[in-house]
A and B are shown apart, each in its own frame.
Chain A
């Protein structure tokens, strides 16, 4: 099962890198928002209740990362939906490949791409004056957690694609990516969010993923939020993968 998964993962990655029109937005859009948020709202660190941090850019970096990873998950879904539309997918499932490999391949590709994405934003941050409070070890933690988060988002994207089957429907989820972001602590401390986002964000897994990524960068090795980040990400991966596999089964049972 491992060899076909890796082969499918490699194919997915290769296709991603060959379509710059899909790759560029993953880096460009979060970068624009990162620049605008830090350039426009850095003074908010003066607000009472804003945690002590090395800088607003440090605080915002994880927001750019999760944004980029969520968009990549959505694109994984769009890619799968396009394969369903074009009939490639039918060819794949008639091949003697384990069903799980089809899902696993995409997830592996997402994890590898995520290392590039997270590293990109770390480098951008360092160039423009951010620091990783927890040092090199902290940066490694961020890369690992970022990859796992990407797997979770890709699994969600695929689960949607298996249900929706149409790329345009998956594409239509785009505003929801932002709705989920705004209802989490990705951009701002949870205690300072407006109502009802403050209470909703406590239940939003994205809050814990973002805080897990943020802690080593902006605050240091505080283990509670970091471990919470890993635990929640792991839980999302399990649930979303089950949904994706179930979606695949459902799609297969529906096939003529």
Chain B
């Protein structure tokens, strides 16, 4: 009989104890907080642009002649590795979500979120969604820089596919990094978050098509779902866009996203032990 105890309860939009799976008003509030972090720290978006840009331009300066070898399907190494740089920026943004969550766990902010009656899924969606929106800040300038130094201008469809995949990859990376944050409960796991995401990207068909990879590397890349993601963006800059490649990329992202989300929710529940 809790009503006896309550002095004067504020009118609530719903019965306590009965919660929607996802409370979108709360998600929105959490997303706003996540974006604040980026908008209020001057220069916070810079690393997400500068590092992949240096990486991209550097790779092209160093290994640019690689496309003289038959099999790349393009004479522009820049066009070939551009997806890697875009996804690197996405992975970095996603990884930062885990880094921030680690900080929030250390500082007690996650405790505060968990103390609210909102559902655990709401909290996870809020975290991941704000990462996915944040990636829209570094990626357009990065794409423009690439085009300025000679990358092909994508078609409208190419732009759409690029951004859809980049946003989804950010969400997957953010979920993965959040799992690590919930396991280690500390910012100390940050290098592990960032390096595991970067490795997933590099150990794919990142620098060369599958056929040109060393046999051991080819085996890894063929089993690495991120290869499908890289190829999903690559088709917008090298060769033609096909439904099959697009579909494979989206499916890979959805499967990874589903598995990681469930895992993250389990970890979030276990957090209370």
Contact = CB atoms under 8 A, between A and B. Distances in A.
Q: Do chains A and B touch in the complex (CB under 8 A)?
A: yes
B86 to A, nearest CB: 17
Nearest to A189: B65
Given A32-B199, A39-B213, A39-B217, A182 B58 contact: yes
A36 B207 contact: yes
A46 B69 contact: yes
Given A28-B195, A47-B65, A40 B217 contact: yes
B203 interface: yes
Interface stretch (A119-127, A156-164, A191-199, A213-221): A191-199
Interface stretch (A103-111, A173-181, A242-250): A173-181
A40 B208 contact: yes
12 contacts: A36-B202, A39-B214, A40-B208, A42-B214, A43-B66, A43-B69, A43-B208, A44-B65, A179-B54, A182-B61, A182-B62, A193-B62
A25 interface: yes
A32 B195 contact: yes
Interface residues of B, number: 33
A155 interface: no
A256 B208 CA distance: 57
B64 to A, nearest CB: 4
Could you tell me the dominant secondary structure of chain A's interface residues? helix
A35 B51 CA distance: 20
Given A24-B191, A44-B63, 11 more contacts: A21-B191, A29-B195, A36-B202, A36-B206, A39-B203, A39-B220, A40-B208, A41-B63, A44-B69, A47-B69, A194-B60
B55 A178 contact: yes
Interface residues of A, number: 32
Contacts of A192: 65
A4 B258 CA distance: 59
A21 B188 CA distance: 8
A41 B59 CA distance: 11
Interface in B53-79: 54-55, 57-66, 68-69, 71
A38 interface: yes
B212 interface: yes
Contacts of A36: 202-203, 206-207, 217
A187 interface: yes
A25 B208 contact: no
A38 B208 CA distance: 11
Nearest to B78: A194
A36 B195 CA distance: 13
Given A21-B191, A182-B61, A44 B66 contact: yes
Contacts of B199: 32
Interface in A220-235: none
Given A175-B51, A178-B58, A194-B60, A40 B213 contact: yes
Interface string A1-44: 00000000000000000000100110011001101111111111
Contacts of A29: 195
Nearest to B81: A40
B206 A40 contact: yes
B243 interface: no
Nearest to A186: B62
Interface in A28-85: 28-29, 32-33, 35-44, 46-48
B266 interface: no
B35 interface: no
B160 interface: no
Contacts of B54: 175, 178-179, 182
B69 A194 contact: no
Contacts of A89: none
A183 B61 contact: yes
B50 interface: yes
Nearest to A200: B61
Contacts of A187: 62-63
